[in-house]
Amino acid sequence: MSLLEVDKVNTYYDESHVLFDVSLRIEEGEVVALLGRNGSGKTTTMLTIMGILAPRAGTVTFDGKTISGKQPYQIAQLGVQLVPDTRRIIKTITVEENLQLAAFSAKSPWTLKKIYETFPRLEQRRTYMGRSLSGGEQQMLAIARALIRDARVLLLDEPFEGLAPIIVRDLLETTKRLAAEGRTILIVEQNVRAALVLAHRTYVLDRGHVVLEATPAELQAKPDVMHQYLGV
């Protein structure tokens, strides 16, 4: 049994049908990349897993239990944590207060020491207000808030978007370390090459349909598919 399973999910925005029988699975300790052009349904899949959108058909299962139909806070309490592309840090409190607030309702939170070992830059910025952080630092804080809750599954939505190459490199190395430590990750990323460095498996979405499941090596061996569906 996979740790996280999406089975024939159909999701709508009002009457607009966006996901069509989407199925995917993530094993514990695995990194899976969800790839596709803008508008292909990647973020909608993340929001459906997280309970922010309710599927009209199909099910989402986590650790053997059906979670589709649950509220987002209930899914978060089970150990699924979304890091949205908007980051959603609280800009009017400090870095450390953001982390403490995230840890407050967690069953087994990480220590601040462990977070700062993972993101040394955040320790340097611990007393800075959220609004004072750079884009890269805000992304580090968004990921750290999910980690401090001891997430069993991290849903990373466009974690490298709009960041300088040197920041992307640092975040990529941190994410690789988390993966090497056995953290289970589902990543949506337009930076296909970065995603393929991280992933054990990939799913390619096109207009709400899963059109391919492949390892990174298998996907890279299909340049026509990469060009058609990913624009690379």
d(CA 123, CA 131) in angstroms, rounded, equals 16
Tell me what pLDDT residue 164 has. Answer: 87
Mean pLDDT of the chain: 94
Assign 18 a pLDDT band (cuts: 50, 70, 90): very high
Tell me what pLDDT residue 1 has. Answer: 78
Assign 231 a pLDDT band (cuts: 50, 70, 90): confident
d(CA 49, CA 28) in angstroms, rounded, equals 16
Domain positions in the chain = 1-79+153-164+184-232, 87-151
Percent of the chain with pLDDT strictly greater than 70: 100
Q: Is the pLDDT of residue 232 over 80?
A: no
Assign 23 a pLDDT band (cuts: 50, 70, 90): very high
Topology of the domain covering 1-79+153-164+184-232: Rossmann fold (3.40.50)
d(CA 12, CA 56) in angstroms, rounded, equals 7
d(CA 81, CA 146) in angstroms, rounded, equals 6
Q: Tell me if the pTM is above 0.85.
A: yes
pLDDT digits (tens, 9 = 90+) for 80-96: 999 998 888 999 999 99
Q: Which residue has the higher pLDDT, 218 or 162?
A: 218
Tell me what pLDDT residue 107 has. Answer: 87
Tell me what pLDDT residue 163 has. Answer: 87
Distance of alpha carbon 89 from its chain centroid, rounded? 15
Is-contact 80 153, C-beta < 8 A?
Answer: yes
pLDDT digits (tens, 9 = 90+) for 33-79: 999 999 999 999 999 999 999 999 999 999 999 999 999 999 999 99
Is-contact 67 51, C-beta < 8 A?
Answer: yes
